[in-house]
Homo-oligomer: A and B are copies of this chain.
Amino acid sequence: MALTGEEVAKHNSKDSLWVIIHGKAYDVTEFAPEHPGGMGIILKYAGKDATETYEPIHPPDTLDKYLDKSKHLGPVDMATVAEVAQEIDPDEVARQDRIAHMPSLEQCYNMMDFESVASRVMKKTAWAYYSSGADDEITMRENHSAFHKIWFRPRILVDVEKVDFSTTMLGTKVDIPFYVTATALGKLGHPEGEVIFTKAAKKHNVIQMIPTLASCSFDQIVDAAEGDQVQWLQLYVNKDRAITKKIIQHAEARGCKGLFITVDAPQLGRREKDMRSKFTEQGSNVQSSSGAVTDNSQGAARAISSFIDPSLSWKDIPWFQSVTKMPIILKGVQCVEDVLQAVEVGVQGVVLSNHGGRQLDFARSGIEVLAEVMPILRDRGLQDKIEIYIDGGVRRATDIIKAMCMGAKGVGIGRPFLFAMSAYGLAGVDKAMQLLKDEMEMNMRLIGCSSIDQLNPSLIDSRALNSHATSVPWDTLSVSSYDPLVSPQNRVKSKL
C-alpha cells in the first residue's frame, strides 16, 4: 500500500529525513551528511517532493546505485501530498515572457547567437552552471580570443569546386573535424538531456563523447545511438578503482571506441558565477540562523565533484591499459612536456584543454598549447605516434581550420551545443552543426583547400599566439577630458 503524504511529511528533520522522488519515498537520514551536494539542499526538501530539483542533476540510476535498497520506502500516493503553495517568482514570470517571444531558430546564424538566446531563456542557475568559469573567467574568454591572434594566408586560383572536409578520429571516419565533447548535467538545459546530442551527432556523422556526469544514464545515451554510430567515454576516475573498472568495461562492452580520461580536474573548480547564482536563488529562504546548516552555496559544480580521485598519477596509466582495449586519450594536457610523457607511456592521444576555462584561471588555451606542442613533436618525428585534439573556445569553422592547419586531428565543441539545445532542443543542435558545416565549406574554399590534408601551417600566421599582454591601465583623466570627434549631426527640426 502506498505511503501517504502526511506520513512522509513527519520525517522532516535531521533525525528522520525522508524525501519523495518520482512518486517514491526514500529515507536519507543516514545518507544526507555524505551527500556530495551538501546536506542543506536535502533538508530544504525534508518530508516533501524533491523531484524537480533532483531530476536534472542525477542520472536515473543514481538512487539504485548509491542508496541501499533498505532505504527505498516505496510508492507514495501523490494525491495526498500537500501541494506546495508556489510563490510567484517575478524572475520566472519574466523568463516565461522572454520564452514566449524568443527569436525563431531561423534567426540564429552562428554559435554565439545560440548563447545569446540561451542566456535569455534558461533558468538563472542552469545558465550560471553552463556559462561560468574559474576565478575571473579570464582563461574561459581567452579560449576563444586566442583564435583571433591567428590570421590566414589564403591561396588563390585553386580548384575548390568540390570540397571534402571529412576526416578520421581514432580510426572513425567523420564528416567534419569536430566531436561533441563531454559536458555535465544536460538536463539543466533541456528535459531530454544528452540523448539530444546522440541524435544530432548521428545525423551529422560526428562522434559524441559521453560524460561521466551526464543527466541521462550511460545506457540511455548508448541506447539512443543508431547503427554503427561511434561514441566515446569521458571518465572521471573514482578513488575506488573497482567502480572505475566497472564503468570502463561496461562502456567497452557497449561499444565505446575511446576512453578519454580527464586529467585536469583533481578537484573540481570553484566557479563564482555558479556559486553566486545558487546563493541568490535561496536568498529568501535561507535566513541567517539556518545559514550555518546549509553549505550548498557552492553551486552545482562543487556538488558533483565528490567522486574524483586527486591522487591519480602517471603510475596509474598501465592499469588502465590493462583493463581495456579501447584507445586511451588523456583529456586536459597543458604543456609539451606532458605530451611527450604521454607518447612515452603509450597512450593513443591527448586533448589539449583547460576544461573550458572552468578549472585553473590563467591556464593557456588549447590552441596556444598546440602551437607549442606540434613543432616539437615534428622535430622529434613523433607527430604520427599520437593524435592531438584540442577543445575550448571553438565557435567558428575558421577556428576549426586554424587548429587543423596547426596539426590537430580534431576539435571538441561543448558549450555551443549545450546552448543550442537549451534554447531549441534537438532542432537547435542540428542547426548549430549545419551552420558549422556551411561555414566549413565556405572557408575551406576561401582559404584555397579542397580537403583536410591540404591544411598546413603555411596557411596561417600564428606568431601572436603566445602574446599575453595587457594594455597600460587607462589614463582616466585624459581619456575623460578628451573631446571626441563626432560625425555630422542632423539638423534640428524647425519649430512650428
| Bound-complex Cα distance A364 to B273 (A) | 32
Within 8 Å CB of A489, what residues of B? 103, 107, 280
**A376 interfacial contact with B, CB 8 Å:** no
- By the criterion CB–CB under 8 Å, are A363 and B154 in contact? yes
**A288 interfacial contact with B, CB 8 Å:** yes
**A149 interfacial contact with B, CB 8 Å:** yes
| Bound-complex Cα distance A66 to B476 (A) | 40
Contact of A264 among B270, B446, B466, B483 (CB under 8 A): B446
- By the criterion CB–CB under 8 Å, are A476 and B484 in contact? yes
**A152 interfacial contact with B, CB 8 Å:** yes
**A183 interfacial contact with B, CB 8 Å:** no
Q: Shortest CB–CB separation between residue A259 and chain B, in angstroms? A: 15
- By the criterion CB–CB under 8 Å, are B116 and A488 in contact? yes
**A113 interfacial contact with B, CB 8 Å:** yes
Within 8 Å CB of A141, what residues of B? 473-474, 478, 482
Within 8 Å CB of A272, what residues of B? 109-110, 485
Q: Which of A8-16, A129-137, A166-174, A321-329 contacts B (4 or more CB under 8 A)?
A: A129-137
- By the criterion CB–CB under 8 Å, are A151 and B364 in contact? yes
How big is the A interface, by class? 35 or more
Interface residues of A in 397-445 (CB under 8 A from B): 398, 402, 438-439, 441-443, 445
Q: Which of A25-33, A185-193, A305-313, A380-388 contacts B (4 or more CB under 8 A)?
A: A305-313
Interface residues of A in 142-161 (CB under 8 A from B): 142, 144-146, 148-161
Within 8 Å CB of A115, what residues of B? 481
- By the criterion CB–CB under 8 Å, are A151 and B468 in contact? yes
Q: Which of A52-60, A76-84, A207-215, A330-338 contacts B (4 or more CB under 8 A)?
A: A330-338
| Bound-complex Cα distance A127 to B469 (A) | 30
**A70 interfacial contact with B, CB 8 Å:** no
A135-B110, A288-B104 are contacts. A481–B475 as well, Cβ < 8 Å? no
Q: Shortest CB–CB separation between residue A348 and chain B, in angstroms? A: 16
Within 8 Å CB of A309, what residues of B? 161
**A263 interfacial contact with B, CB 8 Å:** yes
Within 8 Å CB of A316, what residues of B? 157
Q: Shortest CB–CB separation between residue A96 and chain B, in angstroms? A: 13
| Bound-complex Cα distance A438 to B475 (A) | 20
Within 8 Å CB of A363, what residues of B? 151-152, 154, 446
Interface residues of A in 95-121 (CB under 8 A from B): 98, 101-104, 106-110, 112-113, 115-117, 119-120
Within 8 Å CB of A470, what residues of B? 145-146, 148-149, 467, 471-472
Contact of A138 among B106, B269, B458, B472 (CB under 8 A): B472
- By the criterion CB–CB under 8 Å, are A362 and B150 in contact? yes
| Bound-complex Cα distance A486 to B479 (A) | 11
Contact of A488 among B107, B317, B360, B476 (CB under 8 A): B107
**A297 interfacial contact with B, CB 8 Å:** yes
- By the criterion CB–CB under 8 Å, are A156 and B109 in contact? no
- By the criterion CB–CB under 8 Å, are A396 and B361 in contact? yes
| Bound-complex Cα distance A109 to B463 (A) | 37
**A24 interfacial contact with B, CB 8 Å:** no
| Bound-complex Cα distance A438 to B131 (A) | 22
Within 8 Å CB of A490, what residues of B? 98, 101-103, 120
- By the criterion CB–CB under 8 Å, are B472 and A149 in contact? yes
Within 8 Å CB of A280, what residues of B? 489
Q: Shortest CB–CB separation between residue A343 and chain B, in angstroms? A: 14
Within 8 Å CB of A375, what residues of B? none
| Bound-complex Cα distance A101 to B158 (A) | 50
- By the criterion CB–CB under 8 Å, are B116 and A477 in contact? yes
A103-B488, A120-B490, A157-B338 are contacts. A466–B473 as well, Cβ < 8 Å? no
A267-B446, A313-B159, A360-B154 are contacts. A469–B464 as well, Cβ < 8 Å? yes
Given contacts A155-B334, A364-B461, A464-B468, 5 further A-B contacts (CB under 8 A): A108-B488, A131-B483, A141-B473, A159-B310, A476-B485
Could you write out 25 A-B pairs with CB less than 8 Å apart? A98-B490, A101-B491, A103-B488, A106-B279, A115-B481, A119-B483, A136-B475, A148-B362, A151-B363, A151-B364, A152-B360, A154-B334, A154-B335, A157-B317, A159-B311, A159-B313, A161-B310, A266-B445, A267-B445, A270-B439, A359-B446, A360-B398, A360-B446, A362-B398, A477-B485
